[in-house]
Amino acid sequence: MGVELYTYFRSSAAYRVRIALNLKRLSYGPRFIHLAKGEQHRPDYRAINPQKLVPALVDRGTVLTQSLAIIEYLNDTYPEPPLLPRRRDERAYVRALAQIIACDIHPLNNLRVLRYLEHTMGQDEAARIAWIRHWIREGFEAFEAQLERHELSGRFCFGDMPTLADICLVPQVFSARRFGCDLSDFPKIRAIDENCQTLAAFRDAAPEQQPDAE
């Protein structure tokens, strides 16, 4: 196979790609980049990903970055099981759910942003936690409303098939719990997260299961 994944146990974006690789039953060699210790700034990693973020995936010499682009690539290259529906409008629904998280929640709450809020804007821990919870709540309200409206969800965001939307949702729920978000207003999100946890592909990708977990 020869797939290598540059990963950090606690990174939501790396967690997504780990789930996708597991769903596709692809084995991979993990390469650990310790974000909290700043290893993403090392020249050898910048040569892999100039954006200094994880994940990056190397498949037979091709370097891929950005978690959603990596997962679409995996889905194009290893079609079974599919991670997107066949119908165009249903694919758009799944991608839009994924992007609520990948564009409008996660980038606001990642390490580099929290550091800027602390070191450049002088925001204390309480203010940073309030910020994190605010954007998770905003995003989850929209996510839950979309699940209700479209009536396409079942055990998972799209029927009974795990897709890109679930792959993004589960790491975000993990992060929400870590930061003490109240999830009581989001029954559909909680039920889908629980259903995902019945699958080894999701469980084995969890931060605490990783060799680099602390």
Interacting residue ranges for its own copies, rule: CB under 8 A: 50-53, 62, 64-66, 68-70, 72-73, 76-77, 88-89, 91-93, 95-96, 98-100, 102-104, 106-108, 112-113, 116-117, 120-121, 123, 127, 130-131, 134, 138-139, 141-142, 145-146, 149
- Closest of 9, 3, 5, 1 to residue 111, by C-alpha: 9
Length of the chain, please?
214
Nearer to its own copies, 25 or 112 (CB): 112
Q: How many CA atoms are closer than 13 Å to the CA of 188, on its beta-carbon side?
A: 20
Nearer to its own copies, 3 or 212 (CB): 3
Distance of CA 12 to the CA centre of its chain: 4
**Least Å distance between CB 157 and its own copies?**
13
**Least Å distance between CB 59 and its own copies?**
8
Nearer to its own copies, 50 or 211 (CB): 50
**Least Å distance between CB 95 and its own copies?**
4
Beta strands 3-7 and 29-32 are parallel
Nearer to its own copies, 62 or 198 (CB): 62
Decide: 39 and 63 in contact? Cβ < 8 Å.
no
Please name the residues in contact with 40: beta carbons below 8 A apart, sequence gap of 6 or more: 33, 46, 49, 52, 53, 54
**Least Å distance between CB 27 and its own copies?**
20
Nearer to its own copies, 127 or 200 (CB): 127
What separation in angstroms does the CA of 150 have from each of 26, 188, 189?
A: 32, 12, 14
